[in-house]
Chains A and B, each alone.
Chain A
């Protein structure tokens, strides 16, 4: 069964550094998402992406965050200047459409900011 893959599985970064989290969505999917889960808290929506542009974003997704689909397969989340509170598990997801098809999630990238 096709799956969403994320790399790296664990990223350790110094505060203030830029970090890029990478995702390869399922190949025939058109909608892409990023979520995060701070330890002990709920999974929170960050952003959705369709047709090469952001279609929805949350209040969390401020100017420090950006997303990009640099080629036909990858979908990336960049955090420009990381803060301690960015430490979390980041999940990428994709779906075939925006109606009844479910979102399929990757295994996540654990981001640790020192």
Chain B
């Protein structure tokens, strides 16, 4: 079945550092890919999405490119801020499916 694997956390960085959170997936057909973020005490918020190969999703300085050849959707940000501290979830929705399949989440802490 479909699955998502994220890099193990937690990840701790200094402010203004470059961020990469790796995400790879296994799926048949052409899934849609998502990054969700969960700030402390809050629910899951959609951060960005990509629905077909080579699409780049972007929002709030974060970017991720749908790479079908490497089955990856890595999340990047050029300069992180303390306010980016949260748990980040990579997810996919299989072609024709309704459910989201989530990775295990990566906790990110940004120190001033």
B42 and A107 contact, CB distance less than 8 A:
yes
| A93-107 Cβ-contact flags toward B at 8 Å (1 or 0) | 100001010111111
Other-chain residue from B51, B97, B98, B102 in contact with A43 (beta carbon distance below 8 A): B102
Q: How many B residues are at the interface, by size bracket?
A: 20 to 34
* Among all A-B residue pairs, the 4 with the closest Cβ atoms: A107-B43, A45-B99, A105-B44, A43-B102
Task: Kindly state whether residue A35 has any CB partner on chain B within 8 Å.
Answer: yes
A108 and B43 contact, CB distance less than 8 A:
yes
Chain A, Cβ-Cβ closest to B97: A56
Residues in A with CB closer than 8 Å to B88 are none
B98 and A48 contact, CB distance less than 8 A:
yes
Q: How far in angstroms is the closest Cβ of chain A from B98?
A: 4
Given the contacts A43-B89, A100-B32, A100-B51, A106 and B43 also touching, CB distance less than 8 Å: yes
Number of interface residues, chain A, beta carbon within 8 A: 26
Chain B, Cβ-Cβ closest to A5: B43
Other-chain residue from B46, B89, B98, B105 in contact with A102 (beta carbon distance below 8 A): B46
Residues in B with CB closer than 8 Å to A41 are 104
Q: Sample 23 A-B pairs with CB under 8 A, ordered by A number.
A: A4-B43, A31-B98, A33-B98, A35-B100, A42-B105, A43-B44, A43-B102, A43-B105, A44-B102, A45-B101, A48-B98, A56-B97, A91-B43, A91-B44, A93-B44, A98-B98, A100-B32, A100-B51, A102-B46, A103-B100, A105-B43, A105-B44, A107-B43
Task: Kindly state whether residue A64 has any CB partner on chain B within 8 Å.
Answer: no
| A23-37 Cβ-contact flags toward B at 8 Å (1 or 0) | 000000001010100
Task: Kindly state whether residue B45 has any CB partner on chain A within 8 Å.
Answer: yes
Residues in A with CB closer than 8 Å to B101 are 45
| B75-112 Cβ-contact flags toward A at 8 Å (1 or 0) | 00000000000000101000001111111110000000
Residues in A with CB closer than 8 Å to B102 are 42-44
